[in-house]
Every structure is written in structure tokens, then in C-alpha cells.
Amino acid sequence: MNYFIRKIIDFLITIFLVTLLTFFTFNILPGNPATAVLGPDADEAQIKILEKEFNLDKPLYARYLSWLFNAAHGDLGTSYRFHQKVNSVIADSIGVTLSLSIFTILLTVIISIPLGIIMAVYNKNPAIKALELTDQIWISTPSFCTALLLIFIFTLKLKLFPSMGFVKWSSDPGRCIKCLFLPSLSLALGSSAILARYLKTDFLEQKNKNYVKTARSKGLSSFYVSTHHILRNSIISVVTTLGLILTEILGGSIIIENVFALPGIGKLIAISISSRDFPLIQGLVLYLALFTTSCNFLIDIIYSLIDPRIKRRHV
């Protein structure tokens, strides 16, 4: 079967399972959501009305189907806490999380690609060797620990960046970058250590290949060969790793947003869990999982476009 068609079918099945899992986790709970909303001393008539509104009088599969139908039309119900449509609550905070993720990925790429190349090219230099030993420390440090250390250095000692709050890009771009710098740096340090390491390993492997020797014997400089020949081949491993890192950044931002009090998805998740706002959590989980699934799907596709050999390998 065609590689792309198979990938698309896999993608659709995963999406179906994600919706199934999200719906049923929130519906296997004992107890009646209607009483949970109204409190213990609600009267019968009120409960009946709310049950009708939540479709609780219908069987589970019918509720799933109607939930799926509404979700596909962009209606995920009303948040208990904010008394707004779940979609509009999420739309208000998704911008923060997106800008945080984009900023983090930019920082990761800016830090890790030069670092990876330097580590590969000068891999016999003792100073670089020492640097390599520290990369396991960066990988092991949880992002919120890094965040606290960065707050300690940059906010308390140097007073350069704010440790909490967020300003919209549209109102003041400079302040927006200032607010996002520490959170994204704390996420990016860990992920760039991983990416630099992958790049280094791949780079060293490519360095001994025949095409590099040919290019060098033509008289091209070592720098030119590194940037124009080897890097182009190593970029494949960078893209795959970046895909894995993207989901990690998204997961990490759940905690980081709470460290820096950024009003994004992560903050919303913490609020909705502590106030037991089920429609909102359900919507958030669904969106994040669908986003990750789509990203993984896109990376598979991009991967096979960059390197056509992959398609054949899987048949």
C-alpha cells in the first residue's frame, strides 16, 4: 500500500482512539455530573433539567457520538468555572503557549546547531570534552529547576528579566520577548543539550564518509565542507529529534507556565484541575493530544520528503 495512504489511515485511527480515551476517562466516574455542578442540596427538578442538558438520560455510546459530533463542529461544552464556551477560553490562552513553544524552538535551534558542530569538529580538544561532560547535567535538570535557577540569577541578582507575567506581542513586542525569554531559555537548555548530542554523533559518522573525503580532496575548506556537505546530511536527524523535542516542549510548558505565571494552556490546565472543571480539562487534553498527533504525522511526512529512502524502508 502507498506509504502516504497508510500513514493517513494510521493517523485517523490514532485520532479516533484519542477521542475515545479522552471521552471515556471522564465518563467512567461514579456519581452524577449534574449533582457535582449543582451541589448536594439541589432539588430533583433542577437535576432533571441539567441531566437533559448534559444528555445524561441517554446511553454512553450515544453520548460519545453526540460529543464527537459537537467537538467536530468546534463545540466542547461550557466551562463550569469561567461560564464561557470551552473553545473561547482555550482560544484566549493558546497564543501564549504557541509563542512560548515557537520561541523555545528558535532558541533550541540557535543554541544546539552551532554547539553540535563545534563539539563534532573539535572533538579532541580538552575544553570541548569538558563541555560534553556537562551535557548530561543539562539533560538531567528538570526544566522547572533550571527555571528557578535562572530566576535566581537573572531576576534577583542581575535584575534583567521579569520572573512572572506576560505582555501581549501586539501591545509591546519588546516586553513580550523579555517576558518569554526566561521561560523559553529554561525549556531550551535541556532540549538543546539533547539535540546537540544527536547532531554531534551524526556529524562524526558523516565525517568519515567518502563524499567528505572527495570534497576535501577537491580543495574545499573544512568549514565549507562542514556547512554545505555534512550539515545537509545531518539535518535529517535534526528534524526527527526536533519532532520528539516539540512534544517534550509542549509537555514541559505545562509546568513552566506555572513557574512564570504565564496565562497559557498549562496554567489553564492547573486551574481547571484544581477547580474540577471537567469540560475544560477534557477540551484541553483533546486539543493537546490532537496537536501532538498531527505534529508527529507531519514530521513523518516531512521526513519521507527529505529522505525518500525512508518510504522504501517501511514497505
100 binds other proteins (CB under 8 A): no
C-alpha 219 chain-centroid distance: 43
Region of 16-24, 52-60, 104-112, 214-222 interacting with other proteins (CB under 8 A):
16-24
92 binds other proteins, rule: CB under 8 A: no
Q: Note whether 29 binds other proteins by CB under 8 A.
A: yes
From 233, 248, 301, 311, residue interacting with other proteins (rule: CB under 8 A): 248
SS3 28: coil
- Assign 187 to helix, strand or coil: helix
Examine residue 132 and tell whether it contacts other proteins (CB under 8 A).
no
Counting contacts by CB under 8 A, is residue 149 touching other proteins?
yes
Among 4, 122, 152, 211, binds other proteins (CB under 8 A): 152
Establish if 239 lies at the interface with other proteins (CB under 8 A). no
User: In this chain, which stretch among 75-83, 181-189, 228-236, 252-260 interacts with other proteins, using CB under 8 A?
Assistant: 252-260
261 is an interface residue for other proteins by CB under 8 A = no
Distance of CA 269 to the CA centre of its chain: 14
Give me 315's grid cell.
514497505
258 belongs to the binding site for other proteins (CB under 8 A): yes
Stretch binding other proteins (CB under 8 A), from 84-92, 118-126, 200-208, 278-286: 278-286
Shortest distance (Å) from residue 274 CB to other proteins = 7
Asked if 265 and 253 count as a contact pair (C-beta separation under 8 A), the reply is yes
- Contact status: 144 vs other proteins (CB under 8 A): yes
Residue 171 in grid coordinates: 501591545
The vertex-283 CA angle with 281 and 288, nearest 5°, equals 95
Sign of CA dihedral 145, 151, 152, 154: positive
CA angle 202, 315, 201 (to 5 degrees): 5
**Chain centroid to CA 143:** 13
Contact 282, 76 (CB under 8 A): yes
Q: Interface with other proteins includes 98 (CB under 8 A)?
A: no
Query: Is 139:193 a contact under the CB 8 Å cutoff?
Result: yes
Q: How far is the CB of 181 from other proteins (least distance, A)?
A: 18
- Please tell me whether residue 273 binds other proteins under the rule CB under 8 A: yes
> How far, in whole angstroms, is CA 98 from its chain's centroid?
9
Regarding 269 and contact with other proteins (CB under 8 A), the answer is yes
What whole-number distance in Å separates Cα of residue 248 and Cα of residue 238? 15
Distances (CA, A) of 294 to 14, 84, 215, 298: 10, 27, 39, 6
The reply to whether 270 sits near other proteins by the rule CB under 8 A is yes
**Which residues make up the interface to other proteins (CB under 8 A)?**
10, 13-14, 17-18, 21-22, 25-26, 28-29, 136-137, 139-142, 144-145, 148-149, 151-152, 156, 247-248, 250-252, 254-255, 258-259, 269-270, 272-274, 276, 278, 281, 285, 288-289, 292-293, 296
